[in-house]
Chain A
């Protein structure tokens, strides 16, 4: 019974993706339509006479109102077409799909790393509050939150690639190449997750049912892992999902530092060239990827939090 309701909840959430995507494209489209440059001027550059520019704009359909172009974009997108790049003339969608695996791998690996490091250190810090782990962890969290990720990455390259020669500094050719970018992306998120885990864990440890568990004579490890952790982790799961958005943004910068050919690097190149279809495509694609991840997190949440399950059973 419960699973059937949960299934309905999942279907509803999946269907909700469609209007969300419409709004996202609308926003991105709206922002990009503020661009002072028109495609004709960008593509023809200095060679373009005003007449040629106007003619090219007309050919591209750029002289139509924004809303018409928006509707047109949606119709094409439904067929998997995001238009062609102003600069390279290549298909925007296939360019993104080609670059996407690097970004996705990097982001997913980082989120996993951040979650594992953050949750473990957070538990340690909470269990021994004001202990050595708590002190070091809190200080480290403060530092990583204040350090620009890309600078941290540059310093890491100086130390691990130049001085120690342990790890390569650019590209993603082997597993070794993943270590630095993944860690550099993950550490600031791990710091945030650690602080949150510590707080929720401290709150949970003070609950009555934990005292009950202890007074039943359960081992401390069992109390922490069986009784406290499950409840303390609920808010952490949501934040890990939200962090994913920051991670995708951070990936833009980190890809630049480590010369990784991902979507992040693509969008920066596109912005420099004023390649509007490519920028729009990248932004829409990344946003869609992010809402898919959030969807998974929401469903996961419904599974692990019995309170949400109960709410859907009652309806």
Chain B
């Protein structure tokens, strides 16, 4: 008896998570994405140590449209504000919108998707029919309509993006769950008389979580871009708060004389989205070894 204990411990130690991590570590491109993303996260958390927040708002009419230099790494904008400081402090808003929208959207989609996938039948039919119709309204239009109704601002854009994504998440999660529900061990659990609630939490979700995590990671990049697009259209965070999309829309007017005003915020969006997407790609490969040949 005593000899068995360390053995189970040993097995448990090499959990799925560790397994996935090990597989992902072998994927250099995915790891590069992971490190860049961690760097961006650190930049967000310690933004104030890099450049003080007031510097992102401080106007200096004598130093307008300056090209990048040692004093202003990314140059200055139409009010003479330091673009580097604005990009750094804009990270928080973009990440908040990107990750926030995905997190809440996935939770709502997860609820609907698990009900539809697990119980099937009429619930499934009603949920999916309604969502199919909702998806006939193009995503961006849906988000814009919600913002039009609620008004502009960070929180409303967040709500709009999140609600507009729910149908897409529900679909992915439902199909992930459907794949698991068909398995024999679910049948076995049912035969043992396990309550549904327990089956969903203990058996279905852990086995369906892979594609859900991949979908979540991949859509963070998408949401960051969509949030920036909303701000670019003037629907998101209102000036003077730094946000990449609204910086682009400001810079657009002056881009012929001061192209650095549009180059750097755009690069910030691209690098962030790219790092998340590379990470998501790597995660997908790590979770699904069949894709590797």
Contacts and interface: CB of A to CB of B under 8 A. Distances in A.
Interface in A283-309: 283, 286-287, 290-291, 294
Interface string A256-283: 1100000000011011101010010011
A28 B145 contact: yes
B138 A150 contact: no
Contact of A271 (B133, B144, B263, B278): B144
A42 B205 CA distance: 48
Contact of A249 (B139, B149, B232, B262): B139
Contacts of B78: none
Given A28-B145, A151-B270, A291 B281 contact: no
Contact of B138 (A23, A148, A151, A290): A290
B240 interface: no
B120 interface: no
B235 interface: yes
A271 to B, nearest CB: 4
A272 B234 contact: yes
Interface stretch (A31-39, A62-70, A81-89, A91-99): A31-39
A136 interface: no
A267 B144 contact: yes
B273 interface: yes
A147 interface: yes
A28 B130 CA distance: 13
A23 B130 contact: yes
Contacts of B276: 146
Which of B130, B138, B144, B274 has the most chain A CB within a 10 Å cutoff?
Answer: B138
Interface in B213-246: 221, 225, 228-229, 232-235, 245
Contacts of B252: 154, 257
Interface in A240-262: 245-246, 248-250, 252-253, 256-257
A279 B273 CA distance: 30
A242 B248 CA distance: 28
B140 A252 contact: yes
A287 B141 contact: yes
A146 B140 contact: no
Contacts of B151: 36
A278 to B, nearest CB: 10
A246 B134 contact: no
A283 B141 contact: yes
Which of B140, B228, B245 has the most chain A CB within a 10 Å cutoff?
Answer: B140
Given A35-B149, A271-B144, A271-B148, A27 B262 contact: no
A290 B141 CA distance: 11
Contacts, number: 141
Contact of A279 (B148, B232, B265, B274): B148
A147 B273 contact: yes
B140 A246 contact: yes
A24 B142 CA distance: 11
A34 B245 CA distance: 26
A158 interface: yes
Interface bracket on A: 35 or more
Nearest to B235: A271
B39 interface: no
A143 interface: yes
B269 interface: yes
B274 A271 contact: no
A162 interface: yes
B147 interface: yes
A155 interface: yes
B104 interface: no
Contacts of B47: none
A116 interface: no
A119 to B, nearest CB: 21
Contacts of B108: none
A286 B141 contact: yes
A142 interface: yes
A253 B147 CA distance: 15
Given A150-B248, A287-B138, A31 B269 contact: no
Given A32-B145, A148-B229, A155 B262 contact: yes
A246 B274 contact: no
A230 B255 CA distance: 46
Nearest to B151: A36
Nearest to B146: A31
A167 interface: no
Nearest to B251: A154
Given A154-B252, A158-B255, A271-B235, 5 more contacts: A23-B133, A246-B140, A248-B141, A249-B140, A270-B148
Interface of A: 20, 23-24, 27-28, 31-36, 142-143, 145-151, 154-155, 157-158, 162, 245-246, 248-250, 252-253, 256-257, 267-268, 270-272, 274, 276, 279, 282-283, 286-287, 290-291, 294
5 contacts: A32-B145, A146-B274, A147-B269, A291-B136, A294-B136
